[in-house]
């Protein structure tokens, strides 16, 4: 198949969408495509040098006439410039606002041969589309894109419902690179975090209110009364200080470790016995997939796309949002039942490897690129 020249724009430093966009770019480069990241800073998972990967930094002009530096215009103009200079075939942008809008502006500048593929990740629809001042713009971005994908059926349904979109939206689940996410040998590292008889629970997020991190503390507090356990928090964000106070108030400081932002997530996940993800909203829940690939089941809420990822009773357990008592009971039951836990761990490894495999999803995106370019 013809090698393509692909531009990728994402939030390079933000959560799952940035991770997925970066990992996809790396995998496409491995397959021989030329990949150009066009972002305001270097994507944090970009890693080592690859001859097929290029990075173009978007610089924002801050003239005195601007009350707000116009990042979106700088991005649109940079996109058009890179497309012309590098003769890109298409732009794959992650998030409708502002990235798809900027890509459409770039397309107006360079001509209709440039194709725009937009991936919806969640917050652009579940939060921004409810804002009337933005909903028309999001609809314009989606309808104007040559192809649109979303990371779960639930997100597709919500996009249709909130915006009245009729255009085809392809389902392209998030994925993990099985060469990075697998159960690591952490026997000696584990000794630094917990005694041999203790279980390790983990929560990884950006600590936004939507993650309900205080529920994590509540669940952990109930679990550790029944099962000796420790809790690892990975990440930082607006709710961190509130969570820290809650942990202190409950006298849990000696059982909870705040690891802050971490790069080697697979290593930390391999330490854990259980992941907690009680989110209010979650279009997919990439961290639960990363955990699954490391053989760690998740106790989660049934919000958004989570049930498409976690099969209740097979690769984790689901409960209604906020039902911390049920989540605690499910966690305790699983941690006390060794055979059930082992079976769930195997099911996790199998599901992550075969259903959310990097090869399958990368091929799916490639097929979509060839389709929009009329190169079947
Ligand atoms: O959840 C966040 O706060 C970050 C956000 C992001 O942009 O990474 O996550 C969204 O995209 C991820 C990758 O597709 C999904 O796994 C998350 O579920 C989704 N977050 C929400 O829908 C709240």
376 band by pLDDT with thresholds 50, 70 and 90: confident
Say if ligand 1 is within 6 A of residue 149 CB. Answer: no
> 142: pLDDT confidence band, cut at 50, 70 and 90?
very high
If asked whether residues 209 and 84 sit together in one domain, one would say no
**pTM, whole model, 2 decimals?**
0.95
Q: Do 240 and 138 fall into the same domain?
A: no
User: Is 92 in the same domain as 143?
Assistant: yes
Does any domain span residue 170?
yes
217 is a domain residue: yes
341 and 361 assigned to the same domain? no
Same domain, 214 and 236: yes
Q: 178: which 2 tokens?
A: 């099985």
ipTM for the predicted complex comes to 0.97
Q: Count how many domains the chain has.
A: 2
- Asked whether 206 lines ligand 1 (CB < 6 A), one says yes
The partner residues of 148 in beta bridges, in order of sequence, read: 118
CB 14 near ligand 1, within 6 Å = yes
The domain in which residue 13 lies consists of 5-175+357-372
Pocket test for ligand 1, best of 20, 122, 278, 291 (most atoms within 8 A of CB): 122
pLDDT tier, 128 (very low <50, low <70, confident <90, very high otherwise): confident
CA of 256 to the centre of ligand 1 (A): 25
Measure the CA angle with vertex 98, ends 89 and 74; round to 5°. Answer: 75
Residue 180 forms part of a structural domain: no
DSSP H helices, the chain, are 15-30, 71-86, 101-110, 123-126, 132-144, 153-163, 187-193, 213-224, 240-249, 265-271, 286-293, 306-309, 324-336, 338-355, 358-372
CB hemisphere CA count around 89 (13 angstroms): 17
Q: Are residues 332 and 351 in the same domain?
A: yes
Q: Could you tell me which of 301, 294, 336, 340 has the C-alpha nearest to residue 317?
A: 301
What is the three-class DSSP state of 86?
A: helix
Distance, in Å, from the CA atom of 206 to the CA atom of 273, rounded to the nearest integer, reads: 21
Q: Please classify residue 56 by burial: count the beta carbons closer than 10 Å to its beta carbon, then call 0-12 exposed, 13-18 middle and 19+ buried.
A: middle
Same domain, 206 and 268: yes
Residues for the chain: how many in total?
376
Mean pLDDT of 265-271: 96
Identify whether 41 is part of a domain: yes
Atom of ligand 1 at shortest range from CA of 16: 8
Q: In this structure, are 218 and 169 located in the same domain?
A: no
User: Does residue 98 have a cis peptide bond before it, meaning omega lies within 30 degrees of 0?
Assistant: yes
Considering only CA atoms, which of 58, 83, 98 is closest in space to residue 7? 83
Both 219 and 161 in one domain: the answer is no
Residue 147, domain CATH: 3.40.50.2000
165 close to 159: Cβ distance less than 8 angstroms: yes
Let me know if residue 287 belongs to a domain. Answer: yes
Ligand 1 atom nearest residue 286's Cα: 16
- Asked whether residue 181 is domain-assigned, the answer is no
> Are 92 and 237 in a shared domain?
no
**Residue 100 lies inside a defined structural domain of this protein:** yes
Q: Does ligand 1 come within 6 angstroms of the Cβ of 151?
A: yes
- Residue with CA at minimum distance from ligand 1 atom 9: 16
Q: Judge whether 270 lies within some domain.
A: yes
Q: What are phi and psi of 299, to 5 degrees?
A: -100, 120
Give me ligand 1 centre to Cα 210, in Å: 10
Residues 163 and 145 in one domain: yes
Nearest partner of 58 among 46, 42, 47, judged by Cα = 42
Quick: pLDDT tens for 45-93.
Answer: 787 788 999 999 999 887 888 888 899 999 999 999 999 999 999 999 9
Shared-domain flag, residues 218 and 252: yes
Cα–Cα distances (Å) from 134 to 108, 119, 138, in that order, read 21, 17, 6
């Amino acid at each position: 198949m013809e090698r393509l020249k692909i531009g990728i724009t994402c939030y390079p430093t933000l959560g799952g969408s940035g991770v997925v966009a970066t990992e996809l770019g790396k995998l496409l480069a491995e397959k021989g495509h030329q990949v150009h990241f066009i972002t305001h800073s270097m994507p944090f998972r970009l890693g080592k040098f690859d001859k097929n990967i290029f990075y173009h930094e978007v610089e924002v002009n801050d003239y005195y006439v601007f009350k707000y530096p116009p990042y979106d215009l700088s991005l649109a103009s940079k996109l058009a410039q890179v497309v012309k200079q590098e003769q890109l075939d298409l732009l794959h942008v992650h998030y409708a606002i502002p990235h798809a809008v900027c890509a459409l502006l770039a397309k107006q500048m360079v001509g209709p041969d440039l194709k725009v593929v937009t991936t919806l990740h969640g917050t652009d629809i579940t939060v921004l589309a409810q804002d009337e001042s933005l909903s028309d713009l999001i609809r314009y971005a989606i309808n104007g894109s040559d192809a649109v994908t979303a990371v779960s059926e639930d997100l597709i349904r919500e996009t249709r419902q909130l915006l009245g979109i009729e255009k085809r939206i392809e389902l392209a689940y998030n994925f993990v690179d099985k060469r990075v996410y697998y159960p690591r040998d952490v026997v000696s590292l584990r000794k630094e975090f917990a005694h041999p008889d203790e279980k390790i629970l983990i929560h990884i997020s950006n600590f936004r209110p939507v993650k309900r991190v205080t529920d994590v503390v509540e669940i952990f507090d109930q679990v550790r009364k029944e099962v000796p356990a420790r809790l690892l928090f990975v990440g930082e964000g607006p709710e961190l200080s509130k969570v820290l106070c809650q942990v202190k108030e409950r006298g849990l400081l000696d059982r909870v470790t705040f690891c802050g932002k971490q790069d080697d997530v697979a290593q930390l996940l391999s330490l854990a016995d259980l992941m907690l993800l009680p989110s209010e909203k979650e279009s997919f829940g990439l961290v639960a997939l990363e955990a699954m690939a490391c053989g760690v089941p998740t106790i989660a809420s049934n919000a958004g796309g989570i049930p498409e990822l976690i099969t209740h009773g097979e690769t984790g357990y689901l409960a209604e949002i906020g039902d911390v008592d049920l989540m605690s009971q499910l966690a305790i039951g699983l941690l006390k039942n060794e055979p059930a836990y082992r079976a769930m761990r195997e099911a996790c490894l199998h599901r992550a490897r075969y259903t959310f495999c990097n090869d399958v999803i990368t091929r799916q995106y490639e097929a979509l690129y060839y389709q929009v370019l009329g190169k079947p």
